Amino acid sequence: QNQIEKHNDSLVTTHQRRLNFLKEDWSHVDLESVIQKLVDFQIAIPSWALGTGGTRFGRFAITGGEPRTIEEKIEDVGLLHALNGASGAISLHIPWDIPQNAESLKSLASSYGLKFDAMNSNTFQDQAGAAHSYKFGSLQHVNKAVRKQAVEHNIEVIKHGIALGSDALTVWLADGSCFPGQLNFRKAFENTLESLQEIYTALPDNWKMFVEYKAFEPNFYSTTVGDWGQSLLYASKLGKKAYTLVDLGHHLPNANIEQIVALLLMEGKLGGFHFNDSKYGDDDLTAGSIKPYQLFLIFNELVEGMDAKGMNHAKDLGWMIDASHNVKDPLEDLLQSVEAIMIAYAQALLVDRKALNAAQDNNDVAKAQEILQNTFRSDLRALVAEARLRAGAALSPIGLYRELDIRKNLVNGRGVNTVATGL
């Protein structure tokens, strides 16, 4: 905390100048309420993004000091949260993470101000000692015994989550097929639905189930939860605790994700997000690094739709990052993702809704574009920084991370040849 204060003291004069400029520029708007919304907004960090990522071609552990245990993963997220005040939750992936002692993990997490976000199951990899292989799918499998094994795994993940105080299960399936004729689509869907129903039955009343879709990979001909239509079908048939989860990287190129988001929200079936960015496929790049305008347009629909339904921005949807890196320090990468998400959210909060509605009603296309791009092209970084300052975090999270040489300290403490479990 001392180091954060010292760091902030050195930057506060410049920060105040930028903030005052914004206050003058946006004097017609209640900026205080915007800043408060930014303070309240928290984005969960996935446990598997804390180590250096890789591709199927290789993994280059450039950094070292990677977290070797769940405890160290919680410490890393605690560090991010101390720096940016906006990463107050961790999302675990079972069995990459195996929570041994839930009570001690809970108290460690809460000592850093962290909660346990959605739990993730894994039926896309075979586990040592498992009776059945997922080579030909898990919840969709033609063999009931394989489906049963996958259902039981998901139920175990729910149990871990209950012990940790989580309240959501994210199910992402690699199920699908690689060649035409391999799969009976209808039977694959029905098997998957039946399996999901069995998992759904084990879900506590206050829990949500997020059904994540993905267009392709690792299967390259069909995916059994391949798009938002299929996910919505499952979620609708399952019941009111089931929702669609949108991972930004899981669409076919050029998909209009903001429109998908608007309609899912309208139907009350949008559960949450996995934020990342991509140019080609499920690239898992830093949020906002390739298509910041798309990120803003998504938040624009979210703010509009959530306000229309009287939803709480911070609480009513699941906000999570799902990115992982081969060439960057993963902690710096996560700080950049959170920053990009906060900026997009701030921009969306400042869109002049009344003027936009009027432009839409008048078919004033040019005006509508001017309104959106006016906030998108405004530099709102000082607002996000002010939210951090008020949360007791650092004015420049990455700046402080580098000033304190945190990675070097982690390497000193944990060693160079550390490998975090995950992808």
What is the smallest separation between the CB atom of 323 and ligand PSV, expressed in angstroms?
9
Q: What is the DSSP secondary structure assignment for residue 102, as one 8-state letter? A: H
| Chosen from ligand PSV, Mn ion, none, partner binding at 333 (C-beta under 5 to 8 Å by type) | none
In the numeric block, which tokens belong to residue 369?
């574009």
- Nearest-angstrom CA–CA distance, 402 and 396: 10
How far apart are CB 282 and ligand PSV at their closest, in Å?
5
Residue 423 partner contact from Mn ion, ligand PSV, none using kind-dependent CB cut-offs of 5 to 8 Å: ligand PSV
**Minimum CB distance to Mn ion smaller for 282 or for 329:** 282
Q: Which is nearer to ligand PSV, 306 or 423 (CB)?
A: 423
Structural contact between residues 420 and 30, judged by C-beta atoms closer than 8 angstroms: no
Among 73, 81, 106, 274, the residue binding Mn ion under the rule CB under 5 A is 274
Q: Measured between alpha carbons, how far is 390 from 374 in angstroms, rounded to an integer? A: 26
Q: 59: exposed, middle or buried (C-beta count within 10 Å: 0-12, 13-18, 19+)?
A: middle
Tell which residue, 94, 320, 96, 134, has the closest CA to residue 212: 320
Alpha carbon distance 149, 138 (integer Å): 8
Binders of Mn ion: how many residues, by CB under 5 A? 4
Pick between residue 87 and residue 421 the one whose CB is nearest to ligand PSV: 421
Partner from ligand PSV, Mn ion, none binding residue 134, C-beta < 5-8 Å depending on class: none
Closest approach, Cβ 310 to ligand PSV, in A, equals: 29
Judged by beta carbon, residue 235 or residue 389, the one nearer Mn ion is 235
Stretch that binds Mn ion, among 38-46, 176-184, 267-275, 306-314 (CB under 5 A): 267-275
Closest residue to ligand PSV in the complex (CB): 172
- We find the least distance from the C-beta atom of residue 279 to ligand PSV, in angstroms, to be 16
Burial class (CB in 10 A: 0-12, 13-18, 19+), 49: buried
φ/ψ of 277, rounded to 5, equals: -140, 160
Question: What is the SS3 assignment for 225-290?
Answer: CCCHHHHHHHHHHHCCCEEEEEECCCCCCCCCHHHHHHHHHHCCCEEEEEECECCCCCCCECCCCC
Residue 277 binds what, of ligand PSV, Mn ion, none (CB under 5 to 8 Å, by partner type)? Answer: none
Q: What is the dihedral of CA 270, 334, 376, 350, to 10 degrees?
A: 60
Q: Which range of residues in 100-108, 222-230, 239-247, 401-409 is near Mn ion by CB under 5 A? A: 239-247
- Write the single-letter amino acid at 134: Y
269 binds, among Mn ion, ligand PSV, none (CB under 5 to 8 A by kind): none
Show the binding pattern over residues 320-349: x = contacts Mn ion (CB under 5 A), - = does not. --x---------------------------
Q: Any residues with CB less than 8 A from the CB of 197 and at least 6 apart, and which?
A: 237, 238
Residues near ligand PSV (CB under 6 A):
48, 120, 172, 212, 214, 247, 274, 282, 322, 423
Helix, strand or coil, per DSSP, at residue 400 = helix
How far does CA 387 lie from the centroid of its chain?
20
120 binds, among Mn ion, ligand PSV, none (CB under 5 to 8 A by kind): ligand PSV
Residue 278: CB minimum distance to ligand PSV, A: 11
Q: Are 416 and 69 in contact (CB under 8 A)?
A: no
Q: Which part of the chain contacts Mn ion (CB under 5 A), choosing from 27-35, 90-98, 184-192, 275-283?
A: 275-283
- Choice from 75, 97, 167, 282 touching Mn ion (CB under 5 A): 282
**Looking at 76, 167, 247, 386, which residue binds Mn ion (CB under 5 A)?**
247
Smallest gap from residue 320 Cβ to Mn ion (A) = 8
Q: Which residues contact 173 (CB under 8 A, 6 or more apart)?
A: 123, 124, 137, 138, 139, 140, 192, 212, 223, 224, 225
Q: How far is the CB of 253 from ligand PSV (least distance, A)?
A: 16
Write out the residues near Mn ion by the rule CB under 5 A: 247, 274, 282, 322
